[in-house]
Amino acid sequence: MTARPNIKSLLRDELSAQLAVWSEPAYRTDQILQWVYAKPVDSFDQMSNLPASLRQKLATHFELNAVHAVRTRNASDTTEKFLFQLHDGSLIETVLIPATPGLTTQSDRHTVCVSTQVGCAYGCKFCASGLEGVKRNLTAAEIVDEVLHVQKLSGDKVNNIVVMGMGEPLANYDELMRALTIINAPWGLGIGARKITVSTVGLVPRIRQLADEPMQLRLAVSLHGATDAVRAQIMPVNKKYPLKELLAACDYYVHTKKRLMTFEYILIAGLNDTDEQAEALGKLAGKLRAKVNLIPYNPVEGLPWQRPGPEVCRHFQHLVERHHVTTTLRTEKGTDINAACGQLRLQHERNPTRTVAEA
Ligand code: SAH
């Protein structure tokens, strides 16, 4: 890990303050931010409208890049998955999804799914990210740089963010909020708060804290079970924050923000795809006027779970919708590139000698 702070972790005021300490004119702040976010360059030396002395000072004080692409994979549906390496050698995944029915509207062409931790501590039984626990939180700069690098490598302007990659975003609250502030800022990436969705395993106190933030972020909660008995079987976090408390926090979010929220519900064969679960899900989502994203499970090598057949999924959807709940049955994107949470990294770490395409 490098000792220098990364410039992409700074808010505009913090950069200004540093420039003032160096007795630089105030207009340099925006010149620098332009080179970092609007027309990103790879080195401080390329910031051609800055005097050489300032470029030198910046390079001695700050890092500019926080992630480095080690591998990209294209799926036939054009979902593109990036494996990034951090300064300490850790690997994280970021996915570019050209259109995500159910998550975004038709006009949101380019969605980036970002990671917030190396690994994950929550150990959901179906998920590849948590298999080896959590290694560390990502810094704000690393989160911001995921988006910048995907933009650069793909040539697409990103206009939608889903915080649904590796890790539990609300367990890395401060760095997440700092990153989202930069991603949202007009001087940063300029992506509207309403185009940013934060997905959580259901950390109750943090959901309440998020509700009290000024930013109008969209909230998604990974439910995956509509009763404590079923949810606790696959999500250990349910023992700490059972459904009653979780739903009360969701209610607080919806009423404080005056925004609709989403429940994500993976369909796993023989586990949470019963009529009883569909009814319970319809009831609780209906009460909160929440939308439900049904996602047929994406099998993970080494784990026993399977997705139900298409008829079972459609039947489940129908039962939920009878409670006047809006649902989407997500047609899985990226299955053939192991795009489910944590899968690419897992494969890379278990088999690092396999051909790595330098991006
Ligand atoms: N920790 C956060 C965000 C990361 S996971 C959360 O739990 O919401 C993003 C979503 O992918 C979650 O809903 C998670 O349950 C889901 N997911 C994990 N593994 C999956 C798999 N194999 N197939 C389908 N969805 C999966």
How does pLDDT run across 238-294, given as a tens digit for each residue?
999 999 999 999 999 999 999 999 999 999 999 999 999 999 999 999 999 999 999
**C-beta of residue 161 within 8 angstroms of C-beta of residue 191:** yes
Residue 72 has pLDDT above 80, yes or no: no
Beta carbon of 300 within 6 Å of any ligand 1 atom: yes
Among candidate residues 109, 117, 120, 40, the one with its CA nearest the CA of residue 79: 109
CA distance 143 to 150: 11
Ligand 1: which residue has its CA nearest to atom 3? 164
> Which position has the higher pLDDT, 130 or 257?
257
Residue 12, SS3?
helix
Query: Worst-scoring range by mean pLDDT, 69-83, 109-123, 254-268, 299-313?
Result: 69-83
Beta carbon of 340 within 6 Å of any ligand 1 atom: yes
pLDDT digits (tens, 9 = 90+) for 330-341: 765 555 444 555
Q: What is the mean pLDDT of the chain?
A: 90
Task: Give the residue carrying structure tokens 């930013």.
Answer: 215
Beta carbon of 148 within 6 Å of any ligand 1 atom: no
Ligand 1: which residue has its CA nearest to atom 21? 298
pTM for this predicted structure = 0.91
Ligand 1: which residue has its CA nearest to atom 16? 341
Instruction: Please calculate the CA angle 28-32-36 and round it to the nearest 5 degrees.
Output: 170
Strand 111-113 relative to strand 91-97: parallel, antiparallel, unpaired?
A: antiparallel
**C-beta of residue 116 within 8 angstroms of C-beta of residue 172:** yes
Tokens at residue 12, please? 């505009």
Residue 100 has pLDDT above 60, yes or no: no
At 132 the pLDDT is 85
Residue 86 has pLDDT above 80, yes or no: yes
